[in-house]
Structure 1
């Protein structure tokens, strides 16, 4: 096999679908069987919808059908001071006939939607319940081995999309967890949370005790909510926090949350996971391999957005995999073109998000910005742009944008 993909989440599945669309065969392996749950905030941003449009085909419509009732029409930011900033994605008059700019859809449903499309493609061989325990160079290029050392597959080019805990990234790339560029997150499902927005605005609560992290409340179609919090791993360690316990304490006792959760019921346990952040530029490729999504540490440092970035990397990985096969060149030097392509799309947004995350170290400054954003549409839109497909790169190149950002009242 020329191309193998580790992980059938959004990054791996989108890469496989783009490869099939271009006429390339690939082998897609995942240790789970779908449908399977994935710990996540479950928010699908406008960037996710944009990537589905890049792919083409019926997935956009299937998502709209699966997400019926789960459309999200905006974001509510709660500053450390308690100041609320409600930022709609569309004017109220446009909502009745407009397409949503985002959804809140459990990953069990969304990931399975992608995998079902994978199953329809004859050029993609999907192997579920298939755990790759070790990879080594040899044969065609890479040998994929199971726990007993048995050969699962060989390939010339390996696309690594098996998540934040990827053994390939640890063992082969040699990348260790960086607490200053890594977020620890926990989430639980609740029903009966009071005060959920009727237009399913997602809520980000920048509580002083969590900065530079935040607590989120994302409304679901069934009236429930995905509730969780994330903090930098270095801060969790420094403060010796138990995040599961902290989430339970906050929803039960915090003045802005207590009444809303008084009659709420938690459904199932509080579950945790790690998020490697794109706080700095790292190599995304090497001799015969490309890193995608969380395995590439591409999560947005401010918003925690990871799904769309995985899909962006999957699209570019498929492109560069095709180029590598066409030129019979899987060298590290050639594949570095993939790194450049991904960072052209995401680099400036990741830098802006990193700066905004650092700003959260100064609550008074964030409070000032939140207060200004109430009367400054440019600033409010910039905060929401990380959840939409607004191309910030074009704005960042315009000197006038920064004046409007700081002082302007109009657009």
Structure 2
């Protein structure tokens, strides 16, 4: 049977590309025929760019904004540190569209359906049931009935996103940088994207949003009042733009195992805190690695893949969790920004250690070694 891939985002399309290159005929199943603009993932790290190049996706031709520096802001302090390698700000719409195009041109097939549940080797859809011995679960942050991830956090993380059009003054402040604004209970990542638009993504505790009456715009206004540097990134009239939300993000979760035939990809495999800027890279890496395992060992290779990927993801995810714990407390954030100013190599080392690279892993030999 043809492999089924649930979700045509970065992880699912990466798997489809590698499978098609290996002679398979993968079927991508997505709820939308047209590419949307998902909330998370507007920053492409240097490792992400390497993976996209390997997949044959001409990402540098898509008009993204080149990024060379990391700027950190706490309540009272700030620092600017060069990135180890250039990165890019690019919307998920542009990225997902390019990945989907690449997968389809190589022979993958796209089917539109809303999958309600996973039952063994079947995907139960709104329009029909789908069956395969190999299912690649690439549904991102959205769980599917039958294969839900555990939720144990009493105060779970939420994601918010505000997209603003080009503004000359804000552009001068942000250009060439990925910014992290650290505040008590969360942080905001800010980067320019194609056309000079500004992407503002916030990761925060549910209790912080609740303290603002569960009103995202009220929360953004309060943060702007408390953190002047963050306020400087909000162009006049930002209140006229919708603040999008996504709930209950299990940062730090890693799938340690799976059953035969089920390959977990992207956020279904490992959820790295977003301040690391490596979510897209983990999605691509997991899709590429899972596809190689299937090509080498078929559906039976799923458990070996999941164990191997969990080992690869452990260090980046744990380091990002530690960084998140520092970022979400004002006093610790001030200390962290001071340390970054005094010892910038610590920041660069941390950035390098939170990357994940699976380029060296492929083929039956690697499958045999990593399954031990």
Q: TM-score range by the shorter chain?
A: 0.7 to 0.9
Q: Please give the TM-score of this superposition, normalised by the length of structure 1.
A: 0.77
TM-fit CA distance, 1:163: 1.9
Write the mapping of 1:226-305 to structure 2, written as runs, cut at 5 A: 226-233=199-206, 236=209, 241-251=214-224, 254-261=227-234, 263-265=236-238, 268-274=241-247, 276-300=249-273, 302-303=275-276, 305=278
Partners of 1:85 and 1:370 within 8 A in 2: yes
Counterparts of 2:333 and 2:349, CA distance in 1:
14
Please say if 1:126 is aligned against 2:114: no
Distance 1:236 1:337, change over 3 A: farther
Partner residue in 2 for 1:34? 34
TM-fit CA distance, 1:18: 0.8
Partner residue in 1 for 2:292? 319
Partner residue in 2 for 1:359? 326
Q: Which moved more, 1:194-203 or 1:43-52?
A: 194-203
Counterparts of 1:234 and 1:260, CA distance in 2:
24
TM-fit CA distance, 1:250: 2.7
Please say if 1:135 is aligned against 2:118: yes
Distance 1:166 1:388, change over 3 A: closer
Write the mapping of 1:45-64 to structure 2, written as runs, cut at 5 A: 45-55=45-55, 57=56, 59=57, 62-64=58-60
Counterparts of 1:313 and 1:352, CA distance in 2:
19
Partner residue in 2 for 1:110? 95
Distance 1:74 1:351, change over 3 A: same
Distance 1:377 1:258, change over 3 A: closer
Distance 1:116 1:23, change over 3 A: same
Partner residue in 2 for 1:156? 133
Partner residue in 2 for 1:67? 63
TM-fit CA distance, 1:219: 1.6
Runs (5+) with no aligned partner, structure 2: 359-372
Runs (5+) with no aligned partner, structure 1: 91-99, 392-411
Counterparts of 1:265 and 1:363, CA distance in 2:
25
Distance 1:260 1:293, change over 3 A: closer
Distance 1:389 1:27, change over 3 A: closer
Larger gyration radius, structure 1 or structure 2: 1
Q: Please give the TM-score of this superposition, normalised by the length of structure 2.
A: 0.85
Partner residue in 2 for 1:336? 303
TM-fit CA distance, 1:8: 0.5
TM-fit CA distance, 1:289: 0.6
Partner residue in 1 for 2:361? none
Counterparts of 2:68 and 2:292, CA distance in 1:
32
Please say if 1:172 is aligned against 2:155: no
Please say if 1:84 is aligned against 2:78: yes
The one of 156, 159, 163 aligned to 1:189:
163
Distance 1:161 1:22, change over 3 A: same
Counterparts of 2:256 and 2:310, CA distance in 1:
10
Q: Which moved more, 1:249-258 or 1:104-113?
A: 249-258
TM-fit CA distance, 1:232: 3.0
Query: Which whole-Å deviations, capped at 9, do the CAs of 1:143-181 have from their partners, x for residues lacking one?
Result: 233236x33x210111100122221xxx32353433358
Partners of 2:31 and 2:113 within 8 A in 1: yes
Backbone CA RMSD of aligned residues: 2.9
Counterparts of 2:68 and 2:356, CA distance in 1:
14
Partner residue in 1 for 2:125? 146
Distance 1:85 1:387, change over 3 A: farther
TM-fit CA distance, 1:285: 2.0
Distance 1:319 1:193, change over 3 A: same
Runs of 4+ in 1 over 6 A off after TM superposition: 386-391
Query: Which whole-Å deviations, capped at 9, do the CAs of 1:287-315 have from their partners, x for residues lacking one?
Result: 32111112234233643642111111111
Distance 1:72 1:259, change over 3 A: closer
Partners of 1:4 and 1:159 within 8 A in 2: yes
Distance 1:303 1:228, change over 3 A: same
Distance 1:163 1:284, change over 3 A: farther
Counterparts of 2:332 and 2:192, CA distance in 1:
29
Distance 1:311 1:28, change over 3 A: same
Secondary structure of the corresponding residue to residue 268 of structure 2? helix
